[in-house]
Amino acid sequence: MVKTTKTAKATKTAKTTKTTKTVKKKTLVIVESPAKAKTIEKYLGPSYKVKASMGHLIDLPKSRLAIDVDNNFEPEYITVRGRAKLLQELQADAKKSGEVLLASDNDREGEAIAWHLQKAIAAKNEKLPISRISFNEITPQAIKAAVAAPTKIDDAKVNAQKARRVLDRLVGYNLSPLLWKKVKNGLSAGRVQSVALRLICEREKEIEAFTPEEYWTLDADFKTGKIIFTASLVTWKGEKAELHVKADAENIIAAIKDAVFTVSGIKETDKTLRPRPPFTTSQLQQTAANRLGFTSRKTMQIAQQLYEGVSIGGAPIGLITYMRTDSVRISQTALDEVRGWLGKNYPAELPEKAVIYSSGKQAQDAHEAIRPTYVSYTPDEIKDKLTGDQHRLYSIIWERFVSSQMKPALTRTLSADIEALTAVFRVSGTTIVEHGYLKVLKLLAAKEEKSKNFPPVQKGDTVKLERFKPEQHFTQGPARFTDAGIVKTLEEKGIGRPSTYAPTISVLLDRGYVARANKQLVPSVLGKLICDMLVEHFGDVVNADFTAGMETGLDEVEGSARNWPDLIRDFYNPFKIRVDEVGKKLESLKGTLDEKTDQVCEKCGRPMVKKLGRYGYFLACSGFPECRNTKSIPLAKCPKCGGDIVARRGNGKKFYGCVNYPECDFLTRFTPLVGQNCPKCGWFLVEKYDKRNGSRKVCINPDCDYLHSGD
């Protein structure tokens, strides 16, 4: 009996021990996005629970300044509206866990999210261990390595985010009310966005002030044997050929048309083409815009998907490293992997040593360059696992990284000069002698990296003239910014950081300060008005040098080299004095924006008023709100009947037509340039766009040759 009892006790003890093991508390890992959570949870296994915070749960309130300017600019944080339930769920999950690992993105915003979560969870669970983990890629190895080496919250990085948040709040919440009071309700201004707007508006002023000048080029077709090739006039009478008008080209043609054309010399030039470094955020956005036609926002959205994980072979795999970086640094592990892959697939193009690239002086170098997490996942191999856009973006990331660790290419260019009297025509052809890194480029292959045939001619050969090909051109003014162009300029001037380029463009578009036309960024009437006011009264704040200097100050805070309240104080005190002065002295522009017109509302008979809306000026009935009639502003006079040309929309497309339609059928798809008429025929000028020449002014009259109009 006793023996049986001991056995029973032993069995009970064993069961108890076993039960204790099965109820061991899990580790809670908190990331930012659900997609990332799903991928990481599969990597870590059943001992871990991975939840998403969905970004910031705690932040400044939107309804008020919430910055104590008299107490070291201390921010007043609250739970973001609509996020309290999620925060409570995370706090409850933490209470059931053995420890918490905060795995938000490894940048300033991510560090701030982790800091807020740590405080909120610790408030409900005082003794619970809470640590920070970070990683550059979402792969099993990287995640497990991060979990094995938890760290503390980086207070300096949190302070840098806090300083940026406070700085932007102080600028926005002081300038925006000023705009409401003096210009129009609902407007807003921001520290970085206002500088970007200024750059776009100043470029537009340069374009508007530009007057195209005529010039001509002269090509000729020559024949040798059965081969016909084209050469271009490069010198005339020993000097560079400059043909200003048609007569210049005609005079040269008349002088040499009966001359003998002889190959006077052939020059051979070798050129080494070196691979480019792997992508930074700005370079990825620029290349995706130029090669794929992606907006900056679209590029970052797709990159986020590739980073967080795509199902490959039934399991989610993070295909690229973190996509917000200003560094071209590559880890030793990644270098070893890509060199191993190249050694198997392109051994002849593998250099003896790894190629090391240096980042710019302003780079924070917190993350590696953007690269594929596994080089073995070639674009062709995983094409059917990705959407079309995902595949195209992944392809250029993969190509750029792999090619960066290959040998340079070598091209050979042959140039032949063909002389007739004092005219010299030149034809060139390029061949690739050593392909090097070009062997892996498909989407990223450039025109200059492709072969161009050279005609079979030798020095002393006589070639037959087939025909002359004179062509008229007009000088092109500065081009409008595209997404790629503004990102490049912001980076060069040190304005913003990798995480802010796409949001800056998006904010300007969303506010109606800028519109996108033919992939170019065009400031609206409202955007120009806001810019002019800010530049006049706050020119030193909406200034590229000032903004770049503030970015440097934020970097110093992150590097623990500067106290963040001091950085804010140095800026805020003089800024607030200026805001108060402008608020008192600046006359309201509201009355000046609504202009009386001689047009009468056809619905109620009251006069129409010219008003400024989000997308520009329009006509509205002065009887608003009783009468809500509105219509477009006349942009030009119809050359057919003298009626007004206004913006219209049909079949989802915008065009410009006469108000007397259907009696008058005049229309054009080109945007009329308000107040600008052709000096030759009097018809109005339009802005014409094509891929070859970009945007330019032309006369709308098809029978007028002013500024090379043919439409």
Rounded distance, CA 122 to CA 53, Å?
A: 16
Residues marked active site are found at 322
Distances (CA, A) of 246 to 218, 239, 424, 594: 10, 19, 19, 48
The string over 490-508, giving b where at least 16 C-beta atoms fall within 10 Å of a residue's C-beta and e elsewhere, is bbeebbbbbbbbbbbbebb
Neighbours of 72 (CB within 10 A): 12
User: What residues contact 129, with CB distance under 8 A and at least 6 apart?
Assistant: 98, 99, 100
Vertex 154 angle, CA 153 and 160, to 5°: 130
Query: Which residues, listed in sequence order, are joined to residue 517 by a DSSP beta bridge?
Result: 520
Q: Are strands 462-474 and 261-273 parallel, antiparallel or unpaired?
A: antiparallel
The amino acid that residue 114 corresponds to is A
Check whether the bond before 277 is cis (ω within 30° of 0): no
Cis status of the peptide bond prior to 574, with omega within 30 of 0: no
User: Residue for token digits 């799903």?
Assistant: 38
Helix, strand, coil share (%) of the chain residues, nearest 5: 40, 25, 35
Kindly state the DSSP code that residue 449 receives in the 8-state scheme: G
CA distances from 181 to 184, 415, 442, 532, 614 (A): 7, 65, 54, 16, 17
Do 666 and 655 form a contact (C-beta atoms < 8 A)? no
In angstroms, the Cα distances linking 178 to 68, 317, 398, 540 are: 20, 49, 48, 17
b or e along 540-569 (b: 16 or more beta carbons within 10 Å of the residue's beta carbon)? ebbbbebbbebbebbbbbbeeebebbebbe
Q: Give the side-chain half-sphere CA count within 13 A for 344.
A: 7
Half-sphere exposure of 687 (CA within 13 A, CB side): 20
At residue 536's C-alpha, the angle toward residues 532 and 542, to 5°, is: 80
387, 412 Cβ separation under 8 angstroms: no
Complete DSSP assignment for 271-304:
EEEPPPPPB-HHHHHHHIIIII---HHHHHHHHH
